[in-house]
A = this chain, B = another copy of it.
């Protein structure tokens, strides 16, 4: 099976060979970047400042690139080593990503509440803060839905800040664990010594990079792009009131394409020996799929918050509007994806 992948069967592989040494160089560079980010993270004290946020981001970035390259180019690497390394890197980048994800989800939802409340209805100073002084009956009657938006914002703030704080603690614990130290030790070794598979020295990286691109192309071809390309198809909200707590299996193929696009991007970096030429299509498509993922998760968070016991009807109403708004963002992101994907596909000779 590994041999099958090593054959230069793919048409794009004919343009020239990229030796396994390029992969080794890429992995060494990413491992070095990982160690640099880790050092920076320890120096900034993991205290939630901007510096520690940058360091955590760089750490995740390097971990994702090492993990992705192990996946795409596994036949060229020592298989026992690669198989033991990947889940550990996935655990690490997943754990580190959560805190940031909760923070940006809250930011997205509060911004949407502002937008939906019109210019002056939802005062900026209450954003991200508790509503400590609920208005009296008269104000509640007059500004019913504004109160709802403010209360919805306060509820989301409470829930997502709590989740973020927990994710922060979990990340700190993870970075102090023996499990993490074992990963860091392996990455330190990788920075100087990449365990290639026996006989891989003479192999070409291009067919495996091409295979990653094929997996992406196949997954995109399986997406409902015709529907997505028809504006206002109302597809994304079709389970907006479903009793299923995870009612959006329709999102999964899009999330999958997002991951395959990322693997394709890393494979291009390997083949290019660093920063590949800017591919506008990949860039725009990736942004659309990030937006798709963020809106999908924000919509789920709004629906989840609406299940909080004993909330006021006005709060629940605002969360319903917010949920639907984010599901339409999901639909808009799909439209944007198919638009840039097709436009570029037509433009490509």
Residues in A lying within 8 Å of B, measured CB to CB: 113, 115-118, 121-122, 142-146, 148-149, 231-232, 234, 237-244, 247, 303, 306-307, 311-325, 328-329, 331-332, 335-336
Contacts and interface: CB of A to CB of B under 8 A. Distances in A.
Contact of A321 (B118, B315, B323, B332): B323
Contacts of A232: 231-232, 328-329, 331-332, 335-336
A246 to B, nearest CB: 12
13 contacts: A116-B237, A117-B239, A144-B307, A146-B243, A149-B241, A232-B232, A232-B331, A237-B325, A240-B321, A313-B313, A316-B320, A321-B321, A324-B324
B118 A242 contact: yes
Contacts of A242: 117-118, 121, 145-146
Contacts of A303: 145
Nearest to A239: B118
Contacts of A145: 241-243, 303, 306
B312 A238 contact: no
Contacts of A243: 121, 142-146
A318 B241 contact: yes
Nearest to A339: B231
**Number of chain copies forming the complex:** 2
Nearest to A334: B232
A329 to B, nearest CB: 8
B313 A240 contact: no
Q: Which of A144, A232, A313 has the most CB of B within 10 A?
A: A313
A177 to B, nearest CB: 37
A319 B320 contact: yes
Contacts of A247: 118
Contacts of A122: 241
B323 A238 contact: no
A312 B145 CA distance: 15
Nearest to A233: B332
Contacts of A307: 144
